[in-house]
Structure 1
Amino acid sequence: MIEIAVTGVTGHLGGAVAHRLAEAGHPLRLIARTPSRAPSLPHATVAAASYGDHDAVVRALRGTEVALMVSAAESADRLDQHRAFIDAAVAAGVRHLVYISFFGAAADAEFTLARDHHATEEHLRASGLAWTALRDNLYADFLLTLAGPDGVIRGPAGDGRVSAVARVDVADCAAAVLRSPAAHRDRTYHLTGPEAVGLADVAALLTAHTGRPVSYHPESLAEAHASRAHYGAPPWQLDAWISTYTAIASGALSPVTSDVALLSGHPATPLRALLTA
């Protein structure tokens, strides 16, 4: 088995992928900014690197042929970090890069951060590396955390719907691609849940599961900006938060695909199942 490099191993997704590959017996190179936080897994070594540190990434990736690039934490310079990591992967001799992108990534995407994912994909395609893009929709796990302390989900999502995908399904898909990368060379997959739900549906599910009343308030854009002003977030971040909801309202996040089943071998996980897991 070839050694597989995995980034984001201290987070939910990268860590889950690393555990799946370790259970299958794959030798791993775990890449983390803080190596002491990396999981302890059999047949795994740990390398220290942050995306923007070209020399550290080259050292961390050298000797590996396949790597998983979990998108970096949201920041004003995230695209620069992504491009730097891809360039370092080329310099290190990586042959195939699997990138965790976003559903509907495009230069004019309603969700502003999906524009950065599009630009990252473009840089990856131009790099000369073999690539696979896994465009996951919003995480279903995230939807279940949207209610505020008062039990209200607030956002300008109107009556739109979103085919949110369970994080465990994305991990299963990524692990499957990394185990057999040649079969997924230069392919884009669109990872969704089994159905599209509205935020009122999410509120109803949470109410039924917890017994605590949860409701959905469809904000106007003015309300959305006002209700988030106290965070003091920079404009790019505020736009990202609000466009999460307007992308739902526009219908951009509602299509349902069968790519989770295609890659993982099992049906996509329903939102309701996450509440009882």
Structure 2
Amino acid sequence: MSHAPTLAVTGSTGRLGGRVARLLGIPQRLVVRDATRAPDLPGCTVAVATYDDGPAVRAALAGATTVFMVSGAEHPDRVTQHRTFVDAAAAAGVSHLVYTSFYGASPTSTFTLARDHFATEEHIKASGLAYTFLRDNLYADFFPLMADEHGVIRGPAGDGRVAAVATDDVAAVAAAVLTDPAAHVGATYDLTGPVALTLHEVAEIITAAGPGPARYVPETVEEAYASRAVYGAPPWQVDAWVSTYTAIAAGELATVSDAVPRLTGRPALTLAAILSG
């Protein structure tokens, strides 16, 4: 793989990684789980590996110097999978890892999955790799999917606010960082939308965008667990679902950052713009 591109992008079959790969528009190595789903991009090569297969990751990243690591799919052992990937990247000779983390990631974050991201960040730091962390807020694109068939968003968010970010904005920041990675070594960027909204306001914006009305119905934590019990999801998954809302209620997702406009050179997208686009 001595003539392969030295920039590797993971998750290029997904919503974020695929956007980043296309925005870059340069030769890169697409690291995917399924080669048949890899995008056909000029000058790009494809390597197959899953995050929990260290030898495959090491082979896939051989010769790469900079890697865009999209966080893995939600899984009860995701931190271990991430650590396996990071260790394999270091063993492969990668020098710089750009990782998609979560806004405000800490060991005490209300949102349970943010704790996983913090653990991953700490492992990356300990690995000796140069790093850049993109700490994404909740994805604003996801808000309509939070509503049930009646257009109701239910959860214990109270009147808390969330500075949700557009997936397109995260991709644009990632592409900017990957185009000049040396300028961003050691940086941690909080990626948010331009304004923090309550879920009542989110529902109003969704309603204005159509095709049907939406509304937010606050729940208690107990009601939230009860209403999600019908899905039969494992406890860790339900904890993640509910803590998305309690993190909003706690004010942990409310602060607006200027990182998106600063790094992309344009304003961050509003929820209304996302829904109309």
Matched, 1:112 2:112: yes
Task: Indicate if the aligned counterparts of 1:2 and 1:65 stay in contact, CA closer than 8 A.
Answer: no
For 1:157, the equivalent position in structure 2 comes to: 157
Deviation at 1:3, TM superposition (A): 2.5
**Separation in 2, partners of 1:2, 1:125:** 25
**Separation in 1, partners of 2:129, 2:206:** 43
Aligned length: 274
Kindly tell me: are residues 211 and 39 of structure 1, through their superposed partners in 2, closer, same or farther at Cα, counting changes over 3 Å?
closer
SS at 1:161 equivalent: coil
**Separation in 1, partners of 2:48, 2:105:** 29
**Separation in 1, partners of 2:261, 2:215:** 32
SS at 1:115 equivalent: helix
**Separation in 1, partners of 2:212, 2:16:** 29
SS at 1:217 equivalent: strand
For 2:23, the equivalent position in structure 1 comes to: 20
Kindly tell me: are residues 106 and 121 of structure 1, through their superposed partners in 2, closer, same or farther at Cα, counting changes over 3 Å?
same
Task: Indicate if the aligned counterparts of 2:141 and 2:275 stay in contact, CA closer than 8 A.
Answer: no
* Aligned-partner residue type, residue 53 of structure 1: D
Task: Indicate if the aligned counterparts of 1:52 and 1:84 stay in contact, CA closer than 8 A.
Answer: yes
For 1:1-277, what aligned pairs fall within 5 Å after superposition?
3-22=6-25, 26-210=26-210, 212-277=212-277
Calculate the TM-score normalised by the size of structure 1. 0.97
* Aligned-partner residue type, residue 249 of structure 2: A
- CA offset digits 1:86-106 (Å, max 9, x no partner): 000000000000000000000
**Separation in 2, partners of 1:263, 1:121:** 21
Deviation at 1:211, TM superposition (A): 5.1
**Separation in 2, partners of 1:267, 1:2:** 32
Q: After the TM superposition, which segments of 4 or more aligned residues of structure 1 sit over 3 Å from their partners?
A: none
**Separation in 1, partners of 2:105, 2:250:** 15
**Separation in 1, partners of 2:142, 2:209:** 16
- CA offset digits 1:108-163 (Å, max 9, x no partner): 00000000000000000010110000000000001122110011110000010100
* Aligned-partner residue type, residue 21 of structure 1: L
Kindly tell me: are residues 225 and 62 of structure 1, through their superposed partners in 2, closer, same or farther at Cα, counting changes over 3 Å?
same
Task: Indicate if the aligned counterparts of 1:106 and 1:115 stay in contact, CA closer than 8 A.
Answer: yes
Task: Indicate if the aligned counterparts of 2:147 and 2:153 stay in contact, CA closer than 8 A.
Answer: yes
Task: Indicate if the aligned counterparts of 1:156 and 1:218 stay in contact, CA closer than 8 A.
Answer: yes
**Separation in 2, partners of 1:246, 1:76:** 20
Deviation at 1:261, TM superposition (A): 1.1
* Aligned-partner residue type, residue 99 of structure 1: Y
* Aligned-partner residue type, residue 11 of structure 2: G
**Separation in 2, partners of 1:92, 1:274:** 39
**Separation in 1, partners of 2:117, 2:166:** 20
Calculate the TM-score normalised by the size of structure 2. 0.97
* Aligned-partner residue type, residue 77 of structure 2: D
* Aligned-partner residue type, residue 104 of structure 1: G
Deviation at 1:2, TM superposition (A): 6.0
SS at 2:89 equivalent: helix
- Consecutive unaligned residues of structure 1, counting only runs of 5 or more, are none
Identical counterparts, % of pairs = 59
